[in-house]
């Protein structure tokens, strides 16, 4: 198997400081979380940013400041969110892509998201893909439900996305697909040859699905965006979650990729 790429989803848009005191929100805190996660074995930092009041934001200046801070401390691959928070406009969500980060997320469908709806109409998805392609930003397809894989492949067929294909299966969001082995196997068996995939799962599902990602030849995303507990009732940090995946991978005899090795696996040129 190729080396394991660990993504640290450091911040997210839904978790608050009231939920966990360990959530990084300022550029400096996100820098430290990224650096500690890199030291623990992460090759990619999936980032959202927060405004001065701690609210989810897609402001370009906040992403710029955060990326600058992270770059001071470590060579981790930076993947910006274009999902942002539910209810944001496409214009708002696309702002960080203009910074030309190495990667950005691309959600390929609309999905119920708890009591809300995460809207991603096809015309908007095409626009996001076209903007990333033009900016030299590698998309990571965010697949919250099974139909989104078909839409991602449609975008590829239509020529909106070229080059290496990388998917993130986000499992266990209320309204999205469940976090089960059966769903994961269904998805990975439909991937085109040469594509890579990672698995992210919400809350208590994170650890078992991460283990499946390691053993089934995929990659793994962990972090406070998806899960704030190390075990029931016990908070953790992003780095602790990453370190646990690295320990598991080592036990299962799978080496962990550095950012440079991950760049080669994902066909990234580096920035
Ligand atoms: N916050 C979710 C509505 C992404 O980062 O692109 C969307 C999300 C996906 O987190
Ligand atoms: Zn995200």
* 58 CB near ligand 1 (under 6 Å): no
Of all residues in the chain, the percent with pLDDT exceeding 90 is 99
Q: How far apart are the C-alpha atoms of 220 and 57, rounded to whole Å?
A: 25
Q: Calculate the CA 213 to chain-centre distance.
A: 14
Quick check: 268 and 138 in contact, CB under 8 A? yes
Which residue's structure tokens are 């009231």? 18
The two tokens of residue 46 are 């999936």
pTM score: 0.98
pLDDT for 270 = 83
Q: Which atom of ligand 1 is nearest to the CA of 13?
A: 1
- Are 259 and 7 contacting, i.e. CB atoms less than 8 angstroms apart? no
Position 271 pLDDT exceeds 90: no
* Cα–Cα dist 160/162, whole Å: 7
Supply the mean pLDDT for the chain.
98
**pLDDT digits over 30-58, tens only?**
999 999 999 999 999 999 999 999 999 99
Cα distances from 15 to residues 165, 177, 223, in angstroms, run: 29, 20, 11
Nearest to 146 by CA among 173, 128, 126: 173
The SS3 assignment for 155 reads helix
Tokens standing for residue 14: 């839904």
CA–CA gap between residue 130 and residue 141 (Å, rounded): 14
Q: What spacing in Å lies between the alpha carbon of 110 and ligand 2's midpoint?
A: 15
Residues 149 and 107: their CA atoms lie apart, in Å, by: 10
Closest listed residue to residue 218, CA positions, set 191, 238, 180: 191
Q: What is the pLDDT of residues 172-216, one digit of tens each?
A: 999 999 999 999 999 999 999 999 999 999 999 999 999 999 999
**How many A from CA of 66 to the centre of ligand 1?**
18
The ligand 1 atom nearest the CA atom of 9:
5
Token pair listed for 27: 């550029």
- Are the beta carbons of 204 and 226 closer than 8 angstroms? no
**Chain segment 79-116, per-residue pLDDT in tens:** 999 999 999 999 999 999 999 999 999 999 999 999 99
120 C-beta closer than 6 A to ligand 1? no
Q: Is the CB of 206 under 6 A from ligand 1?
A: no
């Amino acid at each position: 198997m190729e080396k394991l790429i660990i993504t640290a989803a450091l911040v997210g848009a839904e978790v608050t400081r009231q939920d966990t005191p360990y959530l990084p929100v300022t550029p400096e805190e996100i820098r430290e979380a990224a650096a500690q996660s890199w030291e623990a074995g992460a090759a990619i930092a999936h980032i959202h940013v927060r405004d001065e009041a701690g609210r989810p934001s897609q402001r370009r200046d906040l992403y710029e400041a955060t990326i600058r801070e992270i770059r001071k401390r470590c060579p981790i691959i930076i993947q910006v969110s274009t999902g942002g928070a539910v209810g944001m406009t496409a214009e708002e969500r696309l702002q960080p892509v203009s910074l030309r980060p190495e990667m950005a997320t691309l959600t390929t469908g609309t999905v119920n998201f708890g009591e809300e709806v995460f809207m991603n109409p096809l015309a908007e998805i095409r626009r996001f893909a076209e903007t990333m392609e033009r900016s030299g930003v590698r998309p990571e397809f965010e697949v919250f439900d099974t139909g989104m894989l078909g839409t991602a492949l449609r975008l590829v067929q239509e020529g909106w996305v070229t080059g290496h294909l990388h998917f993130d299966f986000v499992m266990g969001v209320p309204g999205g697909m469940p976090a089960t082995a059966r769903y994961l196997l269904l998805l990975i068996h439909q991937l085109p040859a040469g594509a890579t995939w990672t698995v992210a799962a919400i809350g208590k599902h994170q650890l078992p699905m991460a283990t499946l990602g390691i053993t089934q030849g995929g990659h793994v995303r962990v972090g406070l965006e998806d899960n704030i507990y190390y075990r029931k009732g016990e908070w953790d940090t992003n780095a602790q979650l990453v370190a646990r995946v690295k320990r598991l991978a080592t036990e299962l005899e799978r080496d962990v990729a550095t950012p440079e090795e991950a760049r080669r696996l994902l066909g990234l040129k580096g920035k």
